[in-house]
Structure 1
Amino acid sequence: MTTAVAAPFRFFSLRVVRTRRLGPSLVRITFAGPDLAHFHSQGRDQSLSLFLPHPGQHEPAVPIELGDGWWQGWRELPDDVRAVMRSYTLRSLRRDALGDTAEIDIDFVLHGVEPGAAVPAGPASRWASRAAAGDRVRLLGPAVADNRAIRFRPPEDTDLVLLWGDETALPAVSSILESLPAGTRARVWLEVHHAGTVQDLATAADAEITWLLRDERTVAEGPLALDALRAARLPAAQHPYVWIAGESGRVKQLRRHFVGERGIDRRRVTFVGYWRQGLSGGYSGSIGT
């Protein structure tokens, strides 16, 4: 059973189809289900709310039968019953030739699942690291392609796209790059913790992509991203557009750089905090804590 929530969003009942490791801390999980016939998105940085079961549960507990009252009903469930909710970015949507069958991919960054991890994994990381074909989830996602959960919206006069993201923003950056028309000038910085996370990103744009490898010891305080951006020589542009997403403290720092030091109109800067250092839960891009 599916229940419309607040258009343009609705619930989708899905099952895991397969999983694939993309790097030391990144796993791609593919979901499918008949409900995806009603799933629509223009991609880019489309965000989704994913509901996961606790260990031992057959499916996540979300009272979708309450319609618009699902949120209050979900909040009132006991902690050990209420489905784990995290926000992620849609990586890709595929349909067959007739449009009858669809799959979606979501990339999860895993933290704390490795042996000897300083910080133990949260419930979403634990679930993603063990996910197997047939596992059930619920997803709150778009029934309308152009919806308010897409934040990447460069003005029509944009002549240079500037992107920065950490590992949690990698799915969004990848999808954004795939959406850019041929000839679009773009400069991209991606900050990751493992060299194994570095990958080839497909795009028709004139994109220069810089990977920044961060040492674990400097994750909280290191100025790696800011130093790299300050040192960068940007192409001349009359109407640049900036999109920044990842750890909220770093995002604010980089926004100040683009607006205060680069002089870019703040109205042309989109910034999204996917997570906060030292905390888990809430909106997480693909962090999966």
Structure 2
Amino acid sequence: MKNMEVPMIFMVSCTLLLLCSSSAYAQTAKSPPISPTPSPAPAPAPEYVNLTDLLTVAGPFHTFLSYLESTKVIDTFQKQANNTEEGITIFVPKDGAFSSLKKPSLSNLTQDQLKSLILFHGLPRFYSLAEFKNLSESGPVPTFAGGQYTLNFSDVSGTVSIGSGWTNTKVSSSVHSTDPVAVYQVDKVLLPEAIFGTDIPPTPAPAPSPDISPAADAPSEGKNGEGSSPTSAPGKSNSYRMINWGIWSHLVLALSEVLFLTGGPLQA
């Protein structure tokens, strides 16, 4: 009986050993779990642009900046610049543009009109210089002032021109042009028809260029560099007369000799 128990125990042990080894092999044969692909990091937020600091340092824009602050338009522009995806484009007249503005005068405007005038210098979207070519083909572009306060653009060989009815000027330089804020310098204040009306004085015509009459023909110079004297022509005619008189004299003498020679034999 004991002899039969030993093989039985051996067989059970081998069976258990095989089961354990197959289970361990199955666990090692399994492929490792696939780790999830990390999602890309979000794009960094655009750098905050302080418009007051920019206009204070960038150029002679103190007059425009004072109007921005007195009308509170600076708050509207600043919010659009840093709290929206569209961004902003601002056209900034230099100080000389305001000092040279005689008619119409800004001193007669109401506070609401002055605010609309300053809002008229901004577009509620970022535009690079290259994008103005498309704007020139899309017709009037609305500004922050809304309604009839629109601007017309044209692009000729990279030179951007702006028209507002009363004003025709060009973008003279780029002060700041990094999305979402674009600030461009202009040489004139943009005056809207919605404030100043449509009775626009005609642009003075450019001064005509002086007519340059062709120089009179200079008298021909002689060998000594002096002009021909008025007596030179009669001198030539006198010489011609003398030559002609000499020829006629020879002809008369020759004819007389012929007559004399032929007349002698006839008389004989």
- TM range, normalised to the smaller chain? under 0.3
Give TM-score, length-normalised by structure 2: 0.20
More strand by share: 1
